[in-house]
Amino acid sequence: MNLPIITTRLLLAYALFIPLSLSISVQAEEKLNVLFIATDDMNCDLGVYGNPQVKTPNLDRLASMGVRFDRAYCQQPLCGPSRASIMTGLRPDTLDMHTLAHELREKNPDVVTLGQLFRQNGYFSARAGKIYHYGNPKQIGTDGNDDPATWDERYNPAGIDKEHEDKIVRYNKGKGLGISMAWWDPVSKDEEHTDGMVASKINELMKEHRDEPFFLAAGFFNPHCPYVAPKRYFDLYPLEEITMPVLEEAKADLADVPAMAILRDTKNWPYYFDGVSIEEARKCKQAYYACNSFVDAQVGRLLDALEENGLMEKTLIVFWSDHGYFLGEKGLWYKRKAFERSARMPLIIAGPGLSQNEVTKKPVELLDLYPTIADICGLKAPDEIEGKSLRTLLKDPESKEWTKPAVTQVWHNPEAWGYSLRNENYRYTEWLEGKAGRELYDHATDPEERTNLAEDPSYESVVADLSKQLQGYVRLKPHKRK
């Protein structure tokens, strides 16, 4: 007699359960967004990396949300090959790309890039600014060396830093701005500058596509030269507080270095250009720091937008630079060197379910970003990629399972090239497989790499072991070597 009542109640409960279970299922399958933030030529002279002089409150904020990688290294300290490697998960030797030439698809027509992988898996993929190589500032406002297959949409803003290049102060004696000692500090709004426009566009896209999975790439041009930022960021760094290395001591650092290690720097040492004074270099260092703080402010705008759109809990955030940068250390300027300051750059990753406010000192490579992002987002990366997912370190920053070294190469021409291996203790470098010299630095006692131990008999076994490890990474194609 009670059966109909029980059946009715069961049917009612079942009817209520169906939408609830479907809701849980949909939530479980919800795709994780990606906010991919790139900076150009940014080294680790940042508050978030322990330099109290350089103010980076928003990178501090991001690091508190995730994992800061203290030993992250590029595959080649030059924009073009570094960025191509990041976006493909392949080493420069595999891609056969070692210059700034626009040749990714010409040499690798079937490669599946990172953004392309997300497009293939139902994501909206878009960028604003520089992700692949651009001639900076010459190609600002254009597609540069971009790869159309990576994106659904592309945006190329150009601000007053590009439109008013005549106002930029130059110390490099009539040379162009692409490699320059040059600066400008206009009284201006962030949004008037190219990087401010990049942040604005990404925030706009974030809002437009918040109801669908997205891969959004914000490509900032700063702090690449010329060093241009609103004046208020320059004001953060009084010139009298900017210090420069003593040149006599800087020169002594290079006494035991193979000639090929500083091939591009010896002609006009110090500071790369003939006649640049210490005070002019000091002004450029101030401007570089100002640009770092300007980029930091744009990162803050991106983080604010994630929060405002309710996206923070379902977005993986990856912040990176393409390589490091010298600012007068050893009397050197720029990148394209195998030293720590050129090969190392900032890397911070934050996202749901990952460790928070943690630091790892394990050596990692930018090459590892592709498999990491794919892994965290549940996508299958191509079998041929050469990096390794950082998931282990994002869960346990001190994991003993991570033993892979980081390898950086430098290629100047077929007669001048080298490879550098970094593990937790040492940096070891060979030029022309040792025929043009070797370098070994013990980072436990010499983090500034001032004393080359490669010829020290007490380190003979260390050199032999690291040389053997490095050999497996020397895959330069025959037409690139002599």
* Residue-wise pLDDT tens digits, 290-323: 999 999 999 999 999 999 999 999 999 999 999 9
User: Which pLDDT does position 28 carry in this prediction?
Assistant: 42
pLDDT digits (tens, 9 = 90+) for 241-260: 999 999 999 999 999 999 99
Output phi, psi for 210, to 5 deg: -65, -20
* Average pLDDT score over the chain: 94
The 426-431 sheet, strands edge to edge: 406-413, 416-422, 426-431, 438-442
For the chain, how big is the Rg over CA atoms in Å? 24
What average pLDDT does this structure show over 47-62? Answer: 98
What share of the chain has pLDDT > 90, as a percent?
A: 93
Choice among 44, 74, 79, 225 that is catalytic: 79
Neighbouring-strand partners of residue 214:
124
Q: Residue 26: which pLDDT band, with cuts at 50, 70 and 90? A: very low
Catalytic status, residue 74: no
User: CB–CB of 386/88 below 8 Å?
Assistant: no
Domains present along the chain, CATH in parentheses: 32-396 (3.40.720.10), 408-480 (3.30.1120)
pLDDT value, residue 30 = 84
Confidence of residue 174 (pLDDT cuts 50, 70, 90): confident
Inter-residue contact 102 to 345 (CB < 8 Å): no
Tens-place pLDDT, residues 445-478: 999 999 999 999 999 999 999 999 999 999 999 9
3-state SS class at 92: helix
How many Å apart are CA 198 and CA 130, to the nearest integer?
A: 9
Non-local CB neighbours of 375 within 8 Å, separated by 6+ positions: 381, 389, 391
Alpha carbon 410 to chain centroid, angstroms: 17
Q: Side-chain half-sphere of 87: how many Cα atoms within 13 Å?
A: 33
Inter-residue long-range contacts of 16-21, CB under 8 Å, 24+ positions, other chains counted: none
* pLDDT value, residue 12: 45
Using DSSP, state whether 135 is helix, strand or coil.
coil
pLDDT at 401: 96
284 assigned to active site: no
Residue 402 is predicted with a pLDDT of 98
Q: HSE of 323 in the Cβ direction (CA atoms, 13 Å)?
A: 30
Sheet holding 315-321, edge to edge: 153-155, 124-129, 214-223, 33-40, 315-321, 347-350, 67-69, 358-360
| pLDDT at residue 93, rounded to an integer | 98
Q: What is the pLDDT of residue 296?
A: 99
Per-residue pLDDT at 143 exceeds 70: yes
Tell me the two tokens of residue 317. Answer: 């955030």
pTM: 0.94
Q: Where does the pLDDT of residue 175 fall: very low under 50, low under 70, confident under 90, or very high at 90 and above?
A: confident
Q: 181 and 276 in contact (C-beta within 8 Å)?
A: yes
Tokens describing residue 24: 């849980």
pLDDT at 1 (0 to 100) = 38
Catalytic-labelled residue, pool 44, 74, 98, 133: 133
CB environment 128-153: b (16+ within 10 A), e (fewer): bbbbbbbbbbebbeeebbbbeebbbe
Identity of the amino acid at 9: R
Mean predicted confidence (pLDDT) in 367-389: 98
119 membership: H or E segment, kind and range: helix 114-120
Residue 6 predicted with pLDDT over 90: no
Q: Per-residue pLDDT averaged across 159-186, rounded? A: 95
Task: Read off the pLDDT of residues 56-112 as tens digits, 9 standing for 90 and up.
Answer: 999 999 999 999 999 999 999 999 999 999 999 999 999 999 999 999 999 999 999
